[in-house]
Amino acid sequence: MDTMETSSDEEESRTFVQVLSEKYNPENFPYGQGVMVMPSLPGSPVKDRLFLPCSLVLSGSGINKAGDRSDIAAFCVHVAELDLSQNQLKDWEEICAIVSNIPHLDFLNLSMNPLMGVQLEPCMAEVFSRVRQLVLINTHISWDTVHTLTKHTPELEELFLCLNGFNTVSESQTSCPSLRLLQITDNQLQEWKEVRKFGQIYPSLNTLVLANNSVDCVGDSPETLQRLFPNLRSINLNNSGLSKWTDIERLNFFPKLKEVKVKGIPLLKTYTDQERCSLLLAQLPSVVLLNGSMVSHGDREDAERFFIRHYQDCPKQELPERYHVLVSKYGRLAPLAEVDLSPRSTMVDVRWGEKVEAMSLHLEQTVAELRKHIRALLQLPHHGIRLFYINREMCSVFGPEELKCGTRALHSYRIQDGDEILVVPKVKSRSSSSEGL
pLDDT at 429: 55
Q: What is the 3-state secondary structure (H, E, C) of the chain?
A: CHHHHHHHHHHHCCEHHHHHHHHCCHHHCCCCCCCEEEECCCCCCCCEEEECCCEEECCCCCCCECCCHHHHHHHCCCCCEEECCCCCCCCHHHHHHHHCCCCCCCEEECCCCCCCCCCCCCCCHHHHCCCCEEECCCCCCCHHHHHHHHHCCCCCCEEECCCCCCCCCCCCCCCCCCCCEEECCCCCCCCHHHHCHHHHHCCCCCEEECCCCCCCCCCCCHHHHHHHCCCCCEEECCCCCCCCHHHHHHHHHCCCCCEEECCCCHHHCCCCHHHHHHHHHHHCCCCCEECCEECCHHHHHHHHHHHHHHHCCCCHHHCCHHHHHHHHHHCCCCCCCCCCCCCCEEEEEEEECCEEEEEEEECCCEHHHHHHHHHHHHCCCCCCEEEEEECCCCHHHHCCEECCCCCCEHHHHCCCCCCEEEEEECCCCHHHHHHHC
What pLDDT sits at residue 340? 55
Strand duo 133-135 + 158-160: pairing = parallel
Interatomic CA distance for residues 15 and 7, integer angstroms: 15
Which regions of the chain are under pLDDT 70? 1-11, 26-51, 336-343, 382-383, 396, 428-437
pLDDT digits (tens, 9 = 90+) for 314-352: 899 999 999 999 999 998 887 765 555 555 788 888 888
pLDDT at 13: 87
pLDDT reported for residue 240: 98
User: What is the per-residue pLDDT for 50?
Assistant: 57
What is the pLDDT at residue 102? Answer: 96
CA distances from 2 to 10, 14, 15, 358 (A): 12, 19, 22, 102
Residue-wise pLDDT for 97-131, tens only, equals: 999 999 999 999 999 999 999 999 999 999 999 99
Q: Give the pLDDT of residue 342.
A: 56
